[in-house]
Amino acid sequence: MSLKRQLFLASVLMLLIPWAGLKFVLELDNALRAQALQQLEEKGTRLAELAGDFMLGLPMVTDNDALYADTTTQFPKVDGFTTTWPGFRDHEDQLPWQSRPGQDHLRWLLTSNNRYLYLLVQKRNQGLRSFNPSQPDQPHDRIKLVLSPPPGQLDAGRPKAWLIRTTAPGTNVPALIDGDPTQTDRQLEVAWEDLGSRWQLELRMPKPAPGSRLGFQTGQFSDSQSAEGTPLTPPPLLVQRNTALERALARQLSDGQQVTVMEPAGWIAAHSEAENPVSSTDFDDLSTSQIIEQITLNALRSLVRLYQPQPKPMATTAHQLHTDGLPEHHLVQQDGKVWLATEHPFFNGRSLLLKQSMQQLLSVSGSALGSVLARSLLIILALTLALLGYASWLSWRIARLQKLVSASVDDDGRILEAIPPARARDELGQLQQHFGHMVSRLQSYNHYLESFSRRLSHELKTPVAVVRSSLENLTHSHSEEERQQYLERAASAAERLRRILNSMSEAARLEQSFDQADKEHFDLADVIRQASAAYQQLDPHHQHHCQTPDSDCPLHASPEMLVQMLDKLVDNARDFTPEGGQILLRLEQDSEHYHIEVFNEGSRLPVNPGVDIFGAFVSKREGNAEGHLGQGLLIVRLIAEFHGGRIDAKNQHFNGIDGVAFRVIIPRLPNEQRTAP
């Protein structure tokens, strides 16, 4: 059986775990709902007593023909338009308009804050007919407004009446007290606008006391048959939300709960809610695991609701709520959400409806278990796909790496092309990276072997030919002087062979000498200045310069090896610097390192990233340079690494001169050891 099939069977068997967990969650959900319902009943009883205390003495609203005023914290602008009204979005039809049966072309809105009551009236079947003072008997639009104070006030039984008419659309329309043109009530602010096919009137007045009655009618003068609106004798009861009761109820609610106090006719006298705590984290800030976790939790909640009893829809409008009795399971649906609800009647036919969000119930009561089950289900379902996908992806990557390695080497072992760098950072990516480095090193080594044989053949050919020709001529020489001359030539060629062989083993001997090297405290700047002076004396064909700090540069190292390293760098610089050119030896320091730099004029580094100039037997000298097998920079690198440093090289433009800079970076002494003895 293949690996994919084994992983698939193992994943299928693990599906038994979430199935058993789901059964347990369904049983637990019934117990949690029963416990939550009991707690909701107890809280609802307390809230009903609190609501009864606040509404004591207020008249009941048993008539459906009432005026309802929403509450707002805003102060709408009285300009005859709806754009500043609370709840207005993009279209005025989204507002909770009120109207009377048979008078759909006349509708109105009421809202109040802690100071004012706002009335917006809209008539949609005609434009505005203004009042003409010179022809008062001509028909014109007008509104009669009546306000009756609640019983118990000093002016109870004496309703206030106003007549509103306008000579032209606009603001500051006068409100005539009892229709008297000489008495204008400045406490009423009125705006009347003509909108072509309809007109709108907006009015602001001081907020009436609870239990007041308010009525209005609109019509044209001398045409009582056209009067429309609400009754004026007696006016309808003005139903206003009890803001003090709403604040008191809100303090008693827990997260995800809503409470509504209803009049006998269903009018909402108070409504408070405690929203579910919403995380302020933006969706883009969520990690992949957090997004998957939220999706899984939502799916689990939907699955639990699928096994719950069917909730009962509640008949509701913008201002009225009718429960018509709660079902036995107390689950109701309102505004597209499912709630656990309890209803509590109190005196005078009023009732209180307390609801608990099922979403909140699942979050509070079953979040721990739901999260565990959701994560286990996610892991198991994802594992089925992930293991199969991962096995396929892993096999594809291994096969791809195998093809890359095979394509990089031919049957004779020659490197055809480099392996491209890996984008992945995992073990396979590192393996491909190592294969790439290995192929690159093998390619460089093959290039070295091909060039080394030619270079070695070239280096050995001349001294061997000299020895052979000297020996042949020695046999034919007749005088002692000639024989001595040929012997000297043979000895010189043999000495050259010895130097070549010593150069081939110089790096190996240097590595062996590291074990016996003694380190001491010395001033690095002084050593570099002395070495630069010696180079200038020994090499009059180039301009040698030295730049070092004025202060001491203490270092614990091997001065002999550092001088040997400088010899190799300066010797390399002389070989590539034209006669009369400049060679600069510079020492700089920072908080942690010394920077030893040798800059030479004239040469440029090869543009070939695959060649390591600090490797063994790598040389870029052209022409007939003798005895150079590419060991100098290798020795520099070995000495730098022995002192815990590193070396690099780059093309540089310095003081108007093009050249190459070799830089050795060596760690400085710790603070407590920087003073040389």
What does the alpha-carbon distance between residue 122 and residue 125 come to, in Å, rounded to a whole number? 10
* pLDDT for residue 183: 92
CATH number of residue 269's parent domain? 3.30.450.20
CATH code of the domain in which 457 resides: 1.10.287.130
Instruction: Return the CA Rg of the chain.
Output: 50
Instruction: Give the pLDDT confidence score for residue 169 in this predicted structure.
Output: 92
CA of residue 566 relative to chain centroid, distance: 52
Measured CA to CA, the distance from residue 220 to residue 390 in angstroms comes to: 82
Q: How many CB atoms lie within 10 A of CB 77?
A: 14
511-520 average pLDDT score = 73
Same-domain pairing of 87 and 161:
yes
Residues 526 and 481 in one domain: no
Nearest to 510 by CA among 636, 667, 663: 636
102 shares a domain with 12? no
Q: Is residue 15 domain-shared with residue 141, that is, in the same domain?
A: no
pLDDT for residue 352 is more than 90: yes
Task: Look at residues 394, 391, 644, 389 and name the one whose alpha carbon lies nearest to residue 519.
Answer: 644
Give pLDDT tens digits for 415-428: 777 777 777 777 77
Statement to judge: residues 507 and 539 lie in one domain: no
- Reported as a single tens digit per residue, the pLDDT across 176-222 is 999 888 999 999 999 999 988 899 999 999 999 888 899 999 987 55
pLDDT higher than 90, residue 120: yes
pLDDT tens string 602-634: 878 776 544 556 655 555 554 444 445 556 777
Residue 422 within any structural domain of the chain: no
Query: Could you give the C-alpha distances from 370 to 92, 288, 451, in angstroms and in order?
Result: 43, 19, 71
Q: Is the pLDDT of residue 386 over 70?
A: no
DSSP one-letter code for 237: B
pLDDT band at 560 (very low <50, low <70, confident <90, very high): confident
Whether 413 is in a domain gets the answer: no
Q: Report DSSP letters for 522-582, one per residue.
A: EEHHHHHHHHHHHHHHH-TTSEEEEE--SS--EEEE-HHHHHHHHHHHHHHHHHHSPTT-E
**Domain harbouring 204, CATH code:** 2.60.40
Give the per-residue pLDDT at 389.
75
Shared domain check, 248 and 188: no
Q: Which residue, of 511, 537, 562, is where some domain finishes?
A: 511
Residue 487: inside a domain = yes
Residue 533: CB partners within 8 Å, gap ≥ 6? 546
494 and 544 share one domain = no
Q: In DSSP terms, which residues pair with 258 in a beta bridge?
A: 273, 355
What digits encode the pLDDT tens for the residues 314-337?
877 768 888 888 888 889 888 788
Cα distances (angstroms) measured from residue 596 to each of 177, 549, 557, 582: 101, 12, 14, 17
Last residue within a domain, chosen from 331, 355, 371: 371
In a domain, 418, yes or no: no
* pLDDT given at position 627: 45
- The DSSP output letter for 311 is P
- Is the residue at 610 inside a domain? yes
Among 462, 496, 511, the domain-final residue is 511
Chain Cα centroid distance, residue 412: 53
My answer on whether 228 and 257 are in the same domain is no
pLDDT at 507: 58
The confidence score (pLDDT) of residue 610 equals 47
For residue 342, the model assigns a pLDDT of 93
**Angle between the 524-538 and 559-576 helix axes, to the nearest 10 degrees?**
40
Q: Are residues 611 and 524 in the same domain?
A: yes
pLDDT, one tens digit per residue, over 244-296 is 898 999 999 988 889 999 988 888 889 998 876 655 556 666 777 777 767 76
- Residue 383 placed within a domain: no
Lowest mean pLDDT among 90-99, 255-264, 567-576: 90-99
Task: Report yes or no: 119 and 106 within 8 Å, Cβ to Cβ.
Answer: no
Range of the domain at 335: 3-57+243-275+284-371
Whether residue 646 is found in the same domain as residue 614: yes
Question: Residues 230-243: what's their mean pLDDT?
Answer: 88
Residue 337's contacts (CB-CB under 8 Å, 6 or more residues apart) are: 357, 358, 359
Both tokens of 306, joined, read: 């699928």
Same domain as 341, residue 204: no
**Number of folded domains that form the chain:** 4
What the block records as the tokens of 425 is: 């950072």
Residue 414: inside a domain, yes or no? no
Residue 522 maps to a domain: yes
* Range list of H helices, 366-426: 367-408
- In this structure, are 235 and 89 located in the same domain? yes
